[in-house]
Structures are given as structure tokens and as C-alpha cells.
């Protein structure tokens, strides 16, 4: 449950103040809204490790892609495919 999944920031969608930022992150085509509070210098185009909806660190593109294909092979990216909040 502690796995973090790498994805690419597509856009910043919300910036309420200096620390509160949200963005669209693509996980190999699956897009989710991700909180970016804890990676203040991450920008669109950057790759981040995302855990339960929060980006916890930046990673480089090559690492991100390798990790993602590994997680996909292990069946660990299913949690991303669950529908957006129920009801």
C-alpha cells in the first residue's frame, strides 16, 4: 500500500495560494487530479511519484517510465483505474 506510482504532470489546474497546488497527472494515459503541495518546484512536463493522490517526489523521465511498466506488469496500477469518487 506504500507504493507510489510515477506520472507526468500535464497541467496545473488550481493554485489557491503559495503551497496549495493541484494538477492533472497522466499515468500512461489514465489522468487523475493530483495534489502538488509537497513538490513545489514541479512543473508541467515533470514526472512525479504519486501516492494516494499526493505527489511526494520528482523523478526523471526514464526512471518514471521504467517504474510504471514494472508496476503495470505486477498489476499494481489497478487503483488508478477505479472510478472517480463514487456517487
Binding footprint of another protein on the chain (CB under 8 A): 1-4, 16, 19-20, 32, 35, 37-38, 40, 49, 51-54, 56-57, 59, 63, 66-67, 70, 73-74, 76, 79-80, 82, 84-87
Helix or strand run (H / E) with residue 69: helix 61-73
CB 38 within 8 A of CB 56: yes
Per the document, the length of the chain is 87
Min. distance of Cβ 57 from another protein in angstroms?
Answer: 5
Min. distance of Cβ 37 from another protein in angstroms?
Answer: 6
Nearer to another protein, 10 or 38 (CB): 38
Nearer to another protein, 12 or 38 (CB): 38
Which one, of 31, 9, 24, 12, lies nearest residue 80 by Cα?
31
Phi, psi of 78 (to 5 degrees): -60, -35
Min. distance of Cβ 9 from another protein in angstroms?
Answer: 16
Amino acid at each position: 500500500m506504500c507504493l507510489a506510482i510515477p506520472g507526468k504532470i500535464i497541467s496545473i489546474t488550481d493554485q489557491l495560494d503559495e503551497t496549495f497546488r493541484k494538477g492533472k497527472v497522466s499515468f500512461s494515459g489514465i489522468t487523475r487530479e493530483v495534489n502538488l503541495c509537497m513538490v513545489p518546484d514541479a512543473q508541467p512536463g515533470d514526472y512525479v511519484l504519486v501516492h494516494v493522490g499526493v505527489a511526494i517526489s520528482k523523478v526523471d523521465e526514464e526512471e518514471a517510465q521504467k517504474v510504471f511498466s514494472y508496476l503495470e506488469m505486477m498489476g499494481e496500477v489497478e487503483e488508478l483505474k477505479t472510478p472517480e469518487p463514487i456517487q
